[in-house]
Amino acid sequence: MTEMLRVLNLRKVFTIGGIFSRAKIIAVNDVSFEIKKAEIFTLAGESGCGKTTIAKILLGFEHPTGGIVEYKGRRIDNIKPNERFSLRKEIQAIFQNPFSTFNPLRKVDRYFFEALQNFGIAKEEREAEKIVREKLEAVGVAYEEFREKYPSEFSGGQLQRISIARALLTNPSLLIADEPVSMVDASLRMSIVNLFKDLRDRFGLSILYITHDLATAYYVSDRMAIMFRGEIVELGPAEKVLQEPKHPYTRLLRDSVPEPDPSKRWTSKVLLAEQEHEEYLRMGCKFAGRCPSAMEICKRESPIHYEVDGVRVKCFLYR
């Protein structure tokens, strides 16, 4: 079986506000995708489109309102807390800010030795050190530079590499990286996403890369999905999606990436808050209000996904 993770019709509704003024926010709606073994799969989309909510559900930090998550063919969206522990070895996370991953008052190496002990991976110190050296080597950090140091003694890029090494300690099959380079210096971003490719190739790791940055997404992804207001609007091989975008929203995004400078991030936050909220609750296609190709049907009905040229597109243009 080449399928690592399967997400089917995932849905998450948050209720916000007080007792008398409750509002629903559909953070994730009908999201389906799978991640294969040794594949880098990317979820890309503007801030607020539901990426982190999906990551939290996959990691068991949030319960889905609906839908199914399967890991290696086994349902994990409804498992008990005590079963989570063994999964934690298999599915590891990397977060946006490495400085908030580590306590500033603790030496970073302590986290490594503690993890090896807690997961029962190393029985004695020499064995543990060997594993730590090996994982640091995989991310390009020397053990001698790493030991006995506090988080503040590293640069952001260096510390993010170290947090990737820490994620590797349990020999996971799947890494979930939520905006892992957005706080890293622009000049170092590519070298870190390069590391993901390296880990995929060397260890057969599957990686869910979450980003709002199309340049790194294009560079690193095998396949990718573009999200808009909680939904996947387009999914397919990364070159196809970004070189011949089919969904009008993907086109808009792609064209808003300033080229040729790949370090420029796409940060267009086009909408006002109320308008945004209205889009989440819209009846038909959520993009219809801004879509240059919108038709009558788009305002009434939500499109299904159409298969076009190896790409899945949620748009009536491809009916």
Q: Of 306, 318, 268, nearest to 290 (Cα)?
A: 268
Query: Which one, 27 or 131, has the nearer CB to ligand ADP?
Result: 27
* Residue 49 contact partner, candidates ligand ADP, Mg ion, none, CB within 5 to 8 A by sort of partner: ligand ADP
Reading the block at residue 59, the tokens are 């990691």
Judged by CB under 6 A, the stretch of 45-53, 82-90, 127-135, 286-294 that binds ligand ADP is 45-53
- Residue partners of 284: CB distance under 8 A and separation at least 6: 297, 298, 299, 300, 301, 302, 303
Site size toward ligand ADP, by CB under 6 A: 12
Query: Which one, 63 or 74, has the nearer CB to ligand ADP?
Result: 63
- Residue carrying structure tokens 């006002």: 272
Q: Of 233, 193, 230, nearest to 213 (Cα)?
A: 193
* 52 belongs to the binding site for ligand ADP (CB under 6 A): yes
Query: Which one, 31 or 91, has the nearer CB to ligand ADP?
Result: 31
Whole-number Å distance between alpha carbons of 319 and 303? 9
Reading the block at residue 38, the tokens are 């040794």
Q: How far is the CB of 184 from ligand ADP (least distance, A)?
A: 17
* Residue 50 contact partner, candidates Mg ion, ligand ADP, none, CB within 5 to 8 A by sort of partner: ligand ADP
270, with CB counted inside 10 A (0-12, 13-18, 19+), is: exposed
Q: How far is the CB of 225 from Mg ion (least distance, A)?
A: 15
- Residue partners of 98: CB distance under 8 A and separation at least 6: 151, 156, 159, 160, 162, 163, 183
Q: How far is the CB of 14 from ligand ADP (least distance, A)?
A: 3
* 96 belongs to the binding site for ligand ADP (CB under 6 A): no
Query: Which one, 12 or 240, has the nearer CB to Mg ion?
Result: 12
Residues 42-71 that bind Mg ion (CB under 5 A): 51-52
Q: Which run of H or E residues covers position 176?
A: strand 174-178
Q: How far is the CB of 147 from Mg ion (least distance, A)?
A: 33
The CB-nearest residue to Mg ion is: 52
Q: How far is the CB of 48 from ligand ADP (least distance, A)?
A: 4
* Residue 16 contact partner, candidates Mg ion, ligand ADP, none, CB within 5 to 8 A by sort of partner: ligand ADP
- Residue partners of 308: CB distance under 8 A and separation at least 6: 246, 318
Residues 53-92 that bind ligand ADP (CB under 6 A): 53
* Residue 53 contact partner, candidates Mg ion, ligand ADP, none, CB within 5 to 8 A by sort of partner: ligand ADP
Q: Which run of H or E residues covers position 278?
A: helix 273-281
Contact between 32 and 7 (Cβ < 8 Å): yes
CA 191, chain centre distance (Å): 18
Q: How far is the CB of 171 from ligand ADP (least distance, A)?
A: 28
Q: How far is the CB of 3 from ligand ADP (least distance, A)?
A: 24
* Residue 48 contact partner, candidates Mg ion, ligand ADP, none, CB within 5 to 8 A by sort of partner: ligand ADP
Whole-number Å distance between alpha carbons of 5 and 34? 5
Query: Which one, 271 or 295, has the nearer CB to ligand ADP?
Result: 271
Whole-number Å distance between alpha carbons of 158 and 316? 46
Q: How far is the CB of 248 from Mg ion (least distance, A)?
A: 24
Q: Which run of H or E residues covers position 315?
A: none
Residue of 8, 13, 25, 121 interacting with ligand ADP (CB under 6 A): 25
Contact between 53 and 62 (Cβ < 8 Å): yes
- Contacts with ligand ADP by CB under 6 A lie at 14, 16, 25, 27, 45, 47-53
